[in-house]
Structure 1
Amino acid sequence: MKIIDTLKIGNYEKSVFENGLVVISEQVQNTASYSAGICVNIGARDDSISGIAHFMEHAVFRHTKKRNSKQIANEFETLGAYSNAFTTKEQTCFYVRAIKNHFAKTFELLCDIVLNAIFIEDEIEREKLIILEEIKSYEDDPEEYIFDLADIATFSNHNLANPITGWQDTVKQIDYKELENFYKTFYRAENIVVCVVGDVNHKNVVKLVNKYFSEKELNCTLPIKLRTKPTINYVNKTIKKTIQQAHIVLGKQTQGLQSTEYYPLAVLNTLFGDGMSSRLYQNLREKHGLAYSIYSSINSYTDCGSWYIYAATDAKKYKRTIDLIYKEMQKLMLKMPTKKELNRAKEQLKTATIIEQESLSSRMQNLLKNEIVFGKYEQTVDIIQKIDQVTLDDIHTLSNKYFCENNWAIASIIPDNFF
């Protein structure tokens, strides 16, 4: 395959092939292991049948042209390697972690899974049973399931409202022919980014990629992924289960990864509900004793996102918990936080960013995200600078934008004996 574009910044290198495949790497010297990922730019929000992208994540491990699932597992683990995959709302990533001495062999195994999958009817039906059990396990865990309900309440009829796994009834509709068509349509070179992080030379990565990807389609036109931005139509979603606590999530749509709000909102979220020094933790847990678990978090996608506030409390304290969450919002709207509080939140974010870079797997995933979303390499120093640039005025502006009472979606799982 012909390389049509290259880029090198320090230990980071990028090569773009004529068939659209992008290969990026970061050489981290004096490390004994490496982490590699093959990311396909297709996720749950692109599903034609809810759950098909996630089903594909499972299905490719069942059988390739030369290996079955047992052989795949045995060969990885004989080399001491760990391989897995995950699906998000926007991407599907297959990865391996291994010692660098086994790079060539383990990378070949990873490529075989992604590039040479075949779909055998009886094996796909068995995998379907496994996925249905996975869905049941999430539905049995209220702290997991509440966020699926929060997506429904926050994104309403948009594809982002669907869980990544799909629903039991939609997964049952997916057969091996549906998967085969999905695979041929989206698992193409121009829809894939390969990333390797560790003490591995970029030329060696490119050489192996050339070997395994050379037969992938050249100059094929991908179907247009209709990623429409969700409209705002917040609803309340409540279900009852045989549990002791009420689980609550307040949800609101936010701007996405490409927005200038991204870092200021991350700082505001940290200050408001992420960590033991946050306002939610200190006031609702430490002061009022309403919840053991209470926090806020942000999920960011390319063009939008969600801000969720979670609490688990005695069902009798359900209303009071929500009222006090709104009260904390009002406090931030009416009065700016102190400079000391702002700096503490920024320091938390900066430290988390730096620590994350010490993990080869985290670095690999961040490189993939930056390439797919922004098409560029973002250094840690640039991220730190953006966090440092957040001001008290930014926090005040975003507080007034987002902390409007009665303008949040609410998802709840309550005990079935609570009226």
Structure 2
Amino acid sequence: HARAHASQAARLMDVLADIYLNPVFDRREITRERRVIKEEIAMTLDQPSHHVLELSDETLWPDQPLGRSIAGNERSLNRTRRSELAGFHTRHYVSGSTVVVAAGDIRHRDLIDLAKRLARQIPAGSRSSWFPAVNGQVRPQIKLFTREMEQTQLALGIRTCSRHDPRRFALRLANVILGENMSSRLFQSIREEHGLAYSIYSTPNFYHDTGSLTIAAGLDTAHTQKALKLTLDELRRLREKPPAAGELRRARDYLIGQLELSLENTESQMNWVGEQLLGFDQIIPPDEIKARLNEIR
């Protein structure tokens, strides 16, 4: 995506369309980018708080795309050739997988005219297929990665619902109560009351046919067992006893406030619309999302 003065919309579309439709895939650039991605992988390994999240996904979704790092690994990078990149572009950069979105000082009919230029050039094709998530787990799974360092990074992953499931609104509220901010139960218990961790949080992830809730913390190894027990206690409390009306209202106010703040600039609005069209094949108005959140009791 790109950002420019409204008067440059046509030129911007031409540049973006050229990048999108006519990549060169220069072998020297591929070699250079391969080195850059290897450095990115090394950087993730040097940041245990990031690495533990990749290990959690790998454990939740073993031997399938959802469980693999988007950066790949050294082996996959070394064996990827120009012909594979070009083939991927040919198969997936087609009309059925393409969405054109603009936000700002531009009229809808003007965007349609600009998009028509792209439509004349882009190859026809249907949306790319996807790989359904597979869950064959029948008992709790543990993955341990050991290295010499000061802290233990802990991640607890739980499979949840997809981005199309109406329960996702309740899950978003439950996550705020559980661990999304400094007022959350996990933060107040494990950091403020017991002083076991500097950072602890929970975050939901929504995919096409499944989802997850991940709780992550960085703490002294000696405190791992106690922190895990307290985390499970909070999960159990959330399951067995509904939150009080005031706590639920504060969580709802927080989510609605975050939604409104996230749409205050044109780039955020553009991303919002694009994600809605790609993820839901429609634009779900912010007011509808607020209404769904207000329905949760």
Contact 2:94 2:126 in 1 (8 A): no
Superposed, which structure 2 residues align to 1:234-383 within 5 Å? 235-383=141-289
TM superposition score normalised by structure 2: 0.95
In the other structure, the counterpart of 1:216 is: 122
Identity of aligned residues (%): 28
In structure 1, what residue type is equivalent to 2:276?
A: N
In the other structure, the counterpart of 1:406 is: none
**Could you list the per-position Cα deviations for residues 186-212 of structure 1 after superposition, in whole angstroms to 9, with x for gaps in the alignment?**
111121111101111122222222223
In the other structure, the counterpart of 2:45 is: 139
**Could you list the per-position Cα deviations for residues 43-65 of structure 1 after superposition, in whole angstroms to 9, with x for gaps in the alignment?**
xxxxxxxxxxxxxxxxxxxxxxx
Instruction: Give the direction of change, closer, same or farther, for the CA distance of 1:325–1:388 in structure 2 (3 Å limit).
Output: same
Q: Which has the higher strand share?
A: 1
In the other structure, the counterpart of 2:8 is: 102
In the other structure, the counterpart of 1:228 is: 132
d(CA) in 1 for partners of 2:265 and 2:204? Answer: 22
Contact 2:95 2:126 in 1 (8 A): no
Compute the RMSD of aligned alpha carbons.
1.5
In structure 1, what residue type is equivalent to 2:21?
A: L
Deviation at 1:130, TM superposition (A): 1.2
**Could you list the per-position Cα deviations for residues 311-336 of structure 1 after superposition, in whole angstroms to 9, with x for gaps in the alignment?**
11001111111111011112223322
SS, match of residue 97 in structure 1: coil
**Could you list the per-position Cα deviations for residues 11-61 of structure 1 after superposition, in whole angstroms to 9, with x for gaps in the alignment?**
xxxxxxxxxxxxxxxxxxxxxxxxxxxxxxxxxxxxxxxxxxxxxxxxxxx
- Structure 2: where are the runs of 5+ without partners? none
**Could you list the per-position Cα deviations for residues 320-361 of structure 1 after superposition, in whole angstroms to 9, with x for gaps in the alignment?**
111110111122233222111111111111111111111222
Instruction: Give the direction of change, closer, same or farther, for the CA distance of 1:103–1:221 in structure 2 (3 Å limit).
Output: closer
d(CA) in 2 for partners of 1:212 and 1:379? Answer: 27
Deviation at 1:364, TM superposition (A): 1.4
1:124 is matched with which residue: 11, 27, 30?
Answer: 30
d(CA) in 2 for partners of 1:126 and 1:335? Answer: 55
Contact 1:155 1:232 in 2 (8 A): no
SS, match of residue 193 in structure 1: coil
SS, match of residue 237 in structure 1: coil
1:201 is matched with which residue: 107, 113, 117?
Answer: 107
In structure 1, what residue type is equivalent to 2:274?
A: L
- Structure 1: where are the runs of 5+ without partners? 1-94, 392-419
Aligned residues: 295
Which 4+ residue blocks in structure 1 deviate beyond 6 angstroms? none
Q: Which has the higher helix share?
A: 2
d(CA) in 2 for partners of 1:212 and 1:375? Answer: 20
Instruction: Give the direction of change, closer, same or farther, for the CA distance of 1:241–1:97 in structure 2 (3 Å limit).
Output: farther
Contact 2:61 2:133 in 1 (8 A): no
SS, match of residue 196 in structure 1: coil
TM superposition score normalised by structure 1: 0.68
**Could you list the per-position Cα deviations for residues 217-240 of structure 1 after superposition, in whole angstroms to 9, with x for gaps in the alignment?**
23x356x62421321425211112
d(CA) in 2 for partners of 1:101 and 1:143? Answer: 44
d(CA) in 2 for partners of 1:349 and 1:204? Answer: 34
More displaced 10-residue stretch of structure 1: 151-160 or 347-356: 151-160
In structure 2, what residue type is equivalent to 1:98?
A: A
In structure 2, what residue type is equivalent to 1:315?
A: T
Contact 2:97 2:126 in 1 (8 A): no
More displaced 10-residue stretch of structure 1: 377-386 or 226-235: 226-235
2:55 is matched with which residue: 135, 143, 149?
Answer: 149
In structure 1, what residue type is equivalent to 2:195?
A: G
Higher relative contact order (CA 8 A, sep 6+): 1
**Could you list the per-position Cα deviations for residues 92-111 of structure 1 after superposition, in whole angstroms to 9, with x for gaps in the alignment?**
xxx11223233222232222
d(CA) in 2 for partners of 1:327 and 1:112? Answer: 55
More displaced 10-residue stretch of structure 1: 363-372 or 347-356: 363-372
Contact 1:294 1:309 in 2 (8 A): yes
